[in-house]
Structure 1
Amino acid sequence: MALSLPIDPAANDLLNRSPLALLLGMVLDQQIPLEKAFSSPYVLAQRLGHEPTAEELAGYDREALVTLFATPPALHRFPKAMAERVQQVCRILVERYGGDPAGLWVDARTGAELLSRIADLPGFGRQKAQIFLALLGKRYDVRPAGWQAAAGGYGEPDAYRSVADITDPDSLARVRSYKQEMKAAAKARGAG
């Protein structure tokens, strides 16, 4: 079952057919609503007039890329930093995977190996890497041996913890509720 977010259907379609768009959505999913993060690869493609490749973004003029990200409505609340991060991720895709974003996962033999590859990308800490691993496993059938264990709680079936679990409005509401509970618990621990 593919990802289905409450965003422009064309943006969902791009996420479901373009490994680069999916990865960039995850890169941008930081300190902004997930709908914004996962819509931004589509908006970027519209601004460019075509779907970019990893090679194109890796070699894109830095300032011109920042301008694309910053043009209202900005693709992220931190357009400069995120344009640079996207470029860094694309450079790694070119250097390590021949520019093929799916190269990140297609030949990973184990979930631990895939988690390590994802965590090596700029901006991916352990939690974010586990969420992306769960997203690949649950929505795109990328399931090397041990993928669920490597994804931690995010890999559990019928969990509603992250973007990996969103398939409809009900699951989105459940994920949002879980995140609110976690924020409240963290705030309570901090106050204690």
Structure 2
Amino acid sequence: MGEAVRRGGRRAGQSGTRDAILDAARAQFAERGFDRATIRSIATAAGVDPALVHHFFGTKDELFASALELPFDAAVMPDLLAGDVGTVGERVVRHYLQVWADPVTGARLQTVFRSVAARPEALQMVRRFVTERLLEPVAEALGPDRAALRAELLGAQLVGIAFARYVVRLPHLQELEVEELVALVGPSAQRYLTEDLPGA
């Protein structure tokens, strides 16, 4: 089943069809929640047969996991680590917030966060992605002890700020410019990443 006919008679290759299903899935999960979104409703929104959704993704759980893919690129690591170690916390926070502020990637992240709010296991996947793919490599590259703990501490703060600012939309957080947030959160990020942590 190499191609699928979309609405309007346009034919799409496998890559385009897969992307269309993922876009429809993210929209359906955000709008209806995981339980109410169905393979059929997602297929209808994507303009494909439900069998094609199963062909690409298997079950709804597997489709949901694929839809959770977040737009954070490990290729930014050298840029985050370049320069003064004393400001690496600011650079990490700035990159994270700029991804959220971008109209395309930010909309995708908001969709993901709204859809995972009612599913603790999915929220855990988001936290794990942010800490393991973005923050833990930074902490390890800087060379301090307890890199995983440092990444989790920073990840918990960044995920919480993003959820409050972009999903719950707390008004005072929304009013701040990205650079104002960087100035407020950067020192905490710096402490988590480079300074001595209390305890053993």
Please say whether Structure 1 and Structure 2 have the same fold, judged by a TM-score greater than 0.5: no
Report the TM-score, using the length of structure 1 for normalisation: 0.27
Larger Cα Rg: Structure 1 or Structure 2? 2
Higher helix share: 2
**TM-score w.r.t. length of structure 2:** 0.26
Greater relative contact order structure (CA < 8 Å, 6+ sep): 2
